[in-house]
Amino acid sequence: MGLPEQRAITAFQDFAYPRLQQAIHSSIGVEIPLDVDWNSLAEPRMESMYVRNLTNIYFLPLIYALQQISVDAIGRAALESGLQRIVIRNSSGNFDASQMAAMENGVLTIDHSPSSNVDYLNDRVQALIAVLESNL
């Protein structure tokens, strides 16, 4: 990761991420570990798009999915007891919403390219809901 990418990721971590992290925890009802592999999300020459891309690809779909699941006491209880950790990364270059998430032993892993299909927000929300609901 070069200097422009480092600066952009640090700015995202300092200014956008705390608000997004709080929204995730509020949606679940408890604070759980959120492991973000920042290095894998930093694509060269894309630093001007980090705020939009990272928010739309990883964080908003997660927040919206958690909010939809936690709409009632049953969903909130399922999330509180079944979701132990969330991992966000780009290890595969995946760009397909239907293949972006997996859950095993209480760990939800989101693995998606940070620059592909940015505007397919609803597809990612639905994919996350499907994975969570089938594993909680």
pLDDT at 47 over 90: no
DSSP string, 11-60: HIIIIIHHHHHHHHHHHHSS---EEE-HHHH--TT-GGGHHHHHIIIIIH
> Which neighbouring-strand residues pair with 81?
none
In the DSSP assignment, the letter for residue 121 is H
Q: What is the pTM of this model?
A: 0.95
- pLDDT grade, residue 4 (50/70/90)? confident
Per-residue model confidence (pLDDT) at position 98: 96
Could you give the percent of the chain with pLDDT greater than 70?
A: 100
Per-residue model confidence (pLDDT) at position 45: 85
Per-residue model confidence (pLDDT) at position 44: 85
pLDDT in tens, 20-32: 999 999 999 899 9
pLDDT at 85 over 90: yes
Q: Output phi, psi for 118, to 5 deg.
A: -55, -40
Average pLDDT over residues 128-132: 98
Q: Token pair 């909130």 is at which residue?
A: 76
pLDDT at 1 over 90: no
- pLDDT grade, residue 16 (50/70/90)? very high
